[in-house]
Amino acid sequence: MSTPSCAKAQPGRFIGGVVEGFYGRPWTMEQRSELFKREQKWGLNTYLYAPKDDYKHRMYWRDLYSPEEAEQLIALISAAKQHNVDFVYAISPGLDITFSNPKEVTALKRKLGQVKGFGCRSFSLLFDDIETEMCPADKQAFSSFAHAQVAITNAVYQHLGEPETFLFCPTDYCASFCTPTVSQSSYLHTVGEGLLPGIDILWTGPKVVSHKISVESIEEVTSVLRRPPVIWDNIHANDYDPQRIFLGPFKDRPTELIPKLRGVLTNPNCEFYPNFVAIHTLATWCKANSEGGQRDVEMGDEEQDPCYSPQRALNLALTDWLQEFLSTDQPGGPCLKARLKKESSDEEPMQTDVAEGSYVPGPGENPVYTAEPLTLEDLKLLSDLFYLPYEYGPTARTMLQELDWLKNNSAAAAAETDKTVEWCSRAKQFDDMCEAVVQMFNRLSNAPNRSILYDLYNYICDIKSGVGMARAYVKTLGGQGQPSAQLMNNDPEPWGFRGGLSGEFQRMLPCHGNRDLFRHPPMTAVYCMRPYCPTDKVEVQKIFREMQSDHMVQPPLICDSLSAGELSPSPQCAFVLEDDIGMCGYALALTNAKPAAAKIQRAVSDSVLEDFPSLITIQVLPRFTDSSPTKRMIDLLLSSIRSSGSRGAFCELRHSDRRMLNFYTKLGSFKPIKMEGLPQDIIAMGTSL
């Protein structure tokens, strides 16, 4: 069976395209029309209209469009049809809708009916980024928030005649939002069970901006939703950070996903023109054949996907994008692409190529400035500098590594050592890389297509300035000239310090730098939290033994039998934490603490077990310094215990274990509880559920 191509348009087609769903200035009608042309050319088939800052899409969703607005939407829907692009109109009523009020449902139907009259045949209801607390009227009418959303979505879907494409965005639209997990989320189960089969569900993956999306994670959510999801992919979205733009390829989504998904829509950068790479590489990915199709594997290609190479897709996109850069978008402007073609031919240029009265410098005068044409290597460098949210491109990584080495080995530049020659050589290489950034900036600034340039200009100015300061610093370390005024002056120019008020706030916070993509010294900042499985028993025991003192203190804690593997945790009541080294923590629970008490022959009063019937234990290795994932893990554990019907949970700690005592105390929800017969060295803490 061959993988469906994004270009197909039959019923049940693979949905592939673009969602305009970011926060910020919406794209213009002209830009959207240009997008439709690109989608048709590259084999994509869908556009989801969902700009957060279109008042009548979200804030004033009840208001009908005016005649002038209607005219624009009619033209846009028509333009999409001309290019075989399915225009999906999305509306986001979740900010203030009262689900139980029939007038609200009527208003929603009326609004979508108006858009249907414009020629639109595909629709979407979005309930993302809203409060989950229902108003009193809705609480009386619906048993849960999910039931309210399902009821109104089904009603609207049927009112519109059950369109072929109808997308629903849940409030819990990624795994990190699900409580306690995807498979145990009552919200998602209600949505999956309640929505009519013809309604597709949007999903962003493990996180809002997902680094990687695995086949296993999609199979899990598909089982809960009872249908394959449509991925709303935020990997190229930049509306959360005004200093970043993403020009790297669509990656870290194996092509094995294609037959397991209903579709993929990219929600890219706010700036329209730089999205050439994001959309082009998505189109290449969509057309990949997951069951054969060999490709050339580039050196250093980490994914080893037999059907799709991110680097190759990026090179194809940048090659095509270069042609756009070289074509003027200004009336009467120079078309460098045509000029280069003419210069490469054997024909003599006609005399009329030189404008009448063109300036010709005389002897000894400055030559006329001639802009060098932008090159493919310039665009590859640009992409490397502004790659993806979780990684820099190869050149950017190399520059950071070289600067770090030069800084840490600067003594070799000041005095003759065995590293002096190496230091000077690497300093020259770093300077050459900085110069390449400057030249890339200059050529970009003179590119004929100004629309692309204007979308990129703030970003390339910023990186040029940052590279310039690093370059000056290295020269200072090497004794080449006076220290740079930008770096050493007590009264620098404003471009010598970056970030404004937001930067000041961030630098004052204790976690500043923890999420830098390049860190020195290296530190772990990415953790995996997952449910415990029986094969984890040995690793849990290792952590338990490691955290015991050299001389075991007696008597044991009531929870030791859980950590030692003598008792198994209750179903769905165990989680483990992993870093890039391996397992570094765990959280285990028994919904009924009596077996653990019996194991060590400890009597626990009925009054305590009535209020705190469940037992928990948590342990993390000392190398794990970030408390946030641990708090998240205990939240998941307590939620699972609560789901079992338990009223409360308790733990036991030694007074000497100051680290875990501080952890439980800072949580705020755990308080010391009195237990008769408790050994002197042990304290019990409990929390009500």
Residues annotated catalytic, as ranges: 129
b vs e for 244-263, b when ≥16 Cβ sit within 10 Å of the residue's Cβ? Answer: ebbbbbbbbbbbbbbeebbb
Please tell me the distance from the alpha carbon of residue 323 to that of residue 269, in angstroms, as a whole number.
21
Hey, which residues does 577 pair with through a beta bridge?
Answer: 529, 585
* Contact yes or no for 276/322 (Cβ under 8 A): no
The closest alpha carbon to 396, from 496, 466, 297, belongs to: 466
- The three-class DSSP label of residue 86 is strand
Type of residue numbered 237: A
The closest alpha carbon to 319, from 375, 254, 365, 367, belongs to: 375
* Contact yes or no for 575/633 (Cβ under 8 A): yes
Please tell me the distance from the alpha carbon of residue 360 to that of residue 358, in angstroms, as a whole number.
6
Please tell me the distance from the alpha carbon of residue 299 to that of residue 311, in angstroms, as a whole number.
10
b vs e for 526-547, b when ≥16 Cβ sit within 10 Å of the residue's Cβ? Answer: ebebebbeeebeebbeebbeee
The closest alpha carbon to 20, from 88, 113, 115, belongs to: 88
Please tell me the distance from the alpha carbon of residue 666 to that of residue 29, in angstroms, as a whole number.
52
* Number of continuous H segments (helices) and E segments (strands) in the chain: 23, 15
Dig out the tokens for 550 from the structure. 């050299």
* Contact yes or no for 39/83 (Cβ under 8 A): yes
The closest alpha carbon to 226, from 208, 203, 201, 205, belongs to: 201
Type of residue numbered 482: Q
DSSP 8-state secondary structure symbol assigned to residue 391: B
* Contact yes or no for 353/334 (Cβ under 8 A): no
Please tell me the distance from the alpha carbon of residue 256 to that of residue 547, in angstroms, as a whole number.
41
Residue keyed to tokens 């990949």:
288
Please tell me the distance from the alpha carbon of residue 233 to that of residue 236, in angstroms, as a whole number.
8
Dig out the tokens for 469 from the structure. 């300061």
The closest alpha carbon to 314, from 250, 385, 393, belongs to: 250
Dig out the tokens for 484 from the structure. 């740079």
Type of residue numbered 498: R
The DSSP bridge pattern shows strands 648-654 and 15-20 to be unpaired
